Amino acid sequence: MKIPHLKKKSEIKTCHNISWEDDYSWIHQDDILEVLKDSKKLNPEVRKYLEEENSYTDFHLSDTKTIQKKLFDEIKGRIKLDDESLPFKDFDYEYWSKTTTKGNYSIKLRKKIGTNNIEEIWNGDEEKEKLKVEYFGVGDLEVSFNDKYLGYSLDTKGSEYYTIYIRDINTKKLVTEKIEETSGSITFSLDDQYVFYSKLDENHRPRKIYRHKLGTKVSEDQLIFEEKSEAFTVGIGLSADDKYFFINSSDHNTSEQYYFDVNEKDPKPKLIKKRQRGILYSVNSWDGKFYNHTNENAEDFKIDISNSLEKPDWKTFIAAKDEVLIGGLTFLKNWIIRSETSDALDKLFVKNITTGIEEELIFSDETVYVPGASLMQRDKNTDEIYISYSSPKTQSRVYSYNLSTKEKKLVKEQEIPSGHNPDDYIVERVDCKSHDGRLVPLTITRHKNTKMDGSAQLLLYGYGSYGSSMSPSFSTTRLSLINRDIIWVTAHIRGGMERGMKWWKEGKLLNKKNTFEDYIASAKYLIENKYTSKNQIIGMGGSAGGLLMGAVVNQAPELFLGIIMAVPFVDSLTTNLDHSLPLTVGEFDEFGNAKDKKDHFDYIYSYAPYNNIKKMDYPHMLITTSLSDNRVLFDEPAKFTAKLREYKTDNNLLLLKTEMNAGHGGKSGRDGAIEEIALDYAFALKISKKI
């Protein structure tokens, strides 16, 4: 089949007295945010190219249709389709959700406490059918405090412009005007007369908080708070003791918080502490005291306590620890639950408020696992909570746990209908030395029968941005590769917070290349230690993890058999220079500001995947994107693919797949998500010659 070619229209770009040529910049439309809302506004020539690439991908993966179907059935066969969540007990009702064999979306249910009368208050599949849309994204689903109203927000394009609806649960009729172009979050007032929401500006940034009175016109909504900085975005939430609303304004690196009493008739948010560059803080209130989770004078966070916000006198409640990330607090009447993260592993601690004694909750004798804790009910006067754990080889198990007696009872175990034996798998945690001597944790999961002589293929997953830590949790999908002797390795590289804030700082801004070096060092370690061999590794990452893939494949293509990148941030220099795009300004403290700072420009230019494509051999590559993605515009992977076709000197596969009705998270619905995974895995098996 003929290889697609995107027309070249040379443009000379200039910044900081440096010029470079961009042959494909023309595909970016000035009205791109309008295209995200209405794909009919897409340049017809660009649409034609994307459709040609889709046809080309379908042609070259036509021999994988059988394995795609098999993988789909395998993955779906590991899911208990007709499942129910554990109930959460509100004051008058118990609420929970369920999925069905046929449905793609969840159903929300409730039962009045003391009765057996179950009500269905939300059915995602029915709502989608009513709207006659292909994409159906649910942003928020909230019930009012009087249990009378259901608030929900929907994105029907994939572009994350959410419309809020409030309806009467009993009549299912809307009780107020729909609220459009919001971030999606819904917060009811305690008297259920109002909802608070954040409105998106012309650049798709939530910088205003409004209060809407139910039954009134949206045009009459009251502006409660406005953030003036284009780099900051805002959100609103309720305190743990239901006494205050907190408004949080932040970028990735700095935060500022305001509060007002839940009973204020005309809310006037009051500043807690003025923003200070590089300082993150988050205040909550409980039992007449205020708790501040902050990194001020505590790189890896601490928690301070004060009796007042008007005249604060902050004292240490949980002290900072070096390279141990201190998490937030969950409150009960007699207990405080908190988390810590170190060496890419989480721990949970419980403190008895009366005695002051704190103990770690031990869940399992496995070395690598993910613990969890959640509340069973809204009434905080209880000793009962849910605790859970999973590991890369062990499915999730949830227990009811009495904090006082320490008795636990298994209440839900993730069911794998097609069967699963954790003893068939081996999980290892190793550290590999990076280029500068820093030790990078690797979580390795393999089948016990996979040979350890270097002959196995290996999938190396990485992300490494925004301080987002990769959790070593259980995944039913990965088993489809692991069972076929492909070892799965998660590299906990810098840019995340697996080793605290320092781990993040060492992988961003002018340290960003450490993220790429860590990943390459991980690949080399796995080769040297006979987990796999050169040219047998499949790299995988999405979004900022796609930036990682693009950078490392330009730097060390010889290590890889293939690369799978989803919605990849590969034209990072162009995006960073465009301050009108939704995420750019808010990410100056993550990636830098190339437009205004020459050292940032030079650094980003030196690694940006699109700008650093070379004339050389590249491994097999599958690149997926979505037309309505507002976080990483589809034109980034489209440009990257077109330029790569021009430069690469090999005959390996280069495939671009664009979902024409999806967003940053891909297709909506359970089956849609499984189809995308099956496509990725089929590509991996094809290049591994396992089909």
Q: Distance (Å, rounded) from C-alpha 621 to C-alpha 623?
A: 6
* Phi, psi angles (nearest 5°) of residue 345: -130, 140
Q: What is the DSSP string of 460-499?
A: EE----TTPPPP----TTTHHHHTTTEEEEEE--BTB-TT
Q: Report DSSP state, residue 85.
A: P
Instruction: Count other Cβ atoms within 10 Å, centred on residue 406.
Output: 11
Contact 326, 300 (CB under 8 A): yes
Q: Distance (Å, rounded) from C-alpha 417 to C-alpha 398?
A: 18
Contact 614, 643 (CB under 8 A): no
Burial 85-99 (b: 16+ CB within 10 A, else e): eebbbbeebbbbbeb
Q: Pairing relation of β-strands 194-200 and 187-188?
A: antiparallel
Instruction: Count other Cβ atoms within 10 Å, centred on residue 129.
Output: 11
Q: Distance (Å, rounded) from C-alpha 186 to C-alpha 143?
A: 10
CA dihedral 524, 528, 531, 535 (to 10 degrees): 50
Provide CB contacts within 8 A for 513, sequence distance 6+: 551, 607
Q: Distance (Å, rounded) from C-alpha 200 to C-alpha 42?
A: 22
Q: How far is CA 653 from the centre of its chain?
A: 29
Q: How far is CA 527 from the centre of its chain?
A: 30
Contact 336, 403 (CB under 8 A): no
Residues taking part in catalysis: 543, 629, 664
CA dihedral 533, 535, 536, 537 (to 10 degrees): 100
CA dist list (Å): 401 to 299, 386, 387: 33, 6, 6
Contact 140, 122 (CB under 8 A): no
Which of 306, 269, 299 lies closest to 285 in space, CA to CA? 306
Radius of gyration of the chain from its Cα atoms, rounded to whole angstroms:
25
Q: Distance (Å, rounded) from C-alpha 558 to C-alpha 650?
A: 12
Instruction: Count other Cβ atoms within 10 Å, centred on residue 254.
Output: 18
Q: How far is CA 683 from the centre of its chain?
A: 24
3-state secondary structure of 422: helix
Which of 239, 159, 114, 69 lies closest to 661 in space, CA to CA? 159
3-state secondary structure of 316: strand
Q: Distance (Å, rounded) from C-alpha 378 to C-alpha 352?
A: 19
Alpha helices in 61-122 (DSSP H): 65-77
The residue behind tokens 């993605």 is 629
Q: Distance (Å, rounded) from C-alpha 338 to C-alpha 331?
A: 9
Q: Report DSSP state, residue 84.
A: B
